[in-house]
Chain A
Amino acid sequence: MTDTLDDDDMLAAEYAIGLLTGEALEAAHARVGSDPAFAARVLRWERQLAPLADLPPLAPPAGARAALLQRLFPEPARAPFWQRLGLWQALAGGAVAVAVALAVLNPGPVAPPQTGPLYAAEIASQTGDFRVVALVDKAQDEVFLTRTAGAAPAGRILQVWAHGPDEPAQSVGLWPDGESVTLPLPREIAAVRGTLTLGISEEPPGGSPTGRPSGRVFGTVDIPGVTGTQD
Chain B
Amino acid sequence: MAIPPQTAGGARVSDDLEDLISRCALGDRAAFAALYDATSAKLYAVCARVLGQDHAAEDAMQDAYVKIWAHAGRYRVTGHAPMTWLITIARNTAIDRLRARRLHHDIEEHHGGIAAPGPSPESVALARSEAGRIQRCLEELEQDRRAAITGAYLDGLSYAELATRAGIPLNTMRTWLRRGLAALRECMSR
> Interface residues, chain A, CB within 8 Å of chain B?
1-5, 10, 13, 17-19, 21, 43, 46-61, 64-65, 67-69, 71-73, 161, 163, 166-169, 195, 197, 199, 201, 210-217, 220, 222
Contacts and interface: CB of A to CB of B under 8 A. Distances in A.
B22 interface: no
Contacts of B30: 166-168
Interface of B: 1-6, 29-30, 32-34, 36-37, 40-42, 44-46, 48-49, 53, 58, 61-62, 65-66, 69, 78-81, 83-84, 87-88, 90-92, 95-96, 121, 124, 126, 128, 130-131, 133-134, 138, 149-150, 152-154, 156, 158-159, 177-179, 181-186, 188-189
Contact of B121 (A55, A60, A71): A55
B3 A201 contact: yes
Contacts of A168: 30, 33-34, 37
A217 B3 CA distance: 8
A52 B154 contact: yes
Contacts of B149: 52
Contacts of A64: 40, 44, 58, 61-62
9 contacts: A43-B80, A52-B121, A52-B153, A53-B153, A54-B83, A56-B126, A65-B33, A199-B2, A199-B3
Contacts of B48: 58
A54 B182 CA distance: 20
Contacts of B131: 51, 54-55
Contact of B178 (A4, A54, A211): A4
Contact of A71 (B66, B152, B188): B66
B18 to A, nearest CB: 15
Contact of B182 (A5, A61, A195): A5
Nearest to B175: A4
A13 B174 CA distance: 12
B188 A48 contact: yes
B185 A3 contact: no
B45 A195 contact: no
A18 B97 CA distance: 13
A192 to B, nearest CB: 12
A80 B84 CA distance: 42
A222 B130 contact: no
Given A2-B182, A167-B33, A60 B40 contact: yes
A47 B133 CA distance: 13
B1 A57 contact: no
B184 A211 contact: no
Contacts of B36: 65, 68-69
A73 B27 CA distance: 11
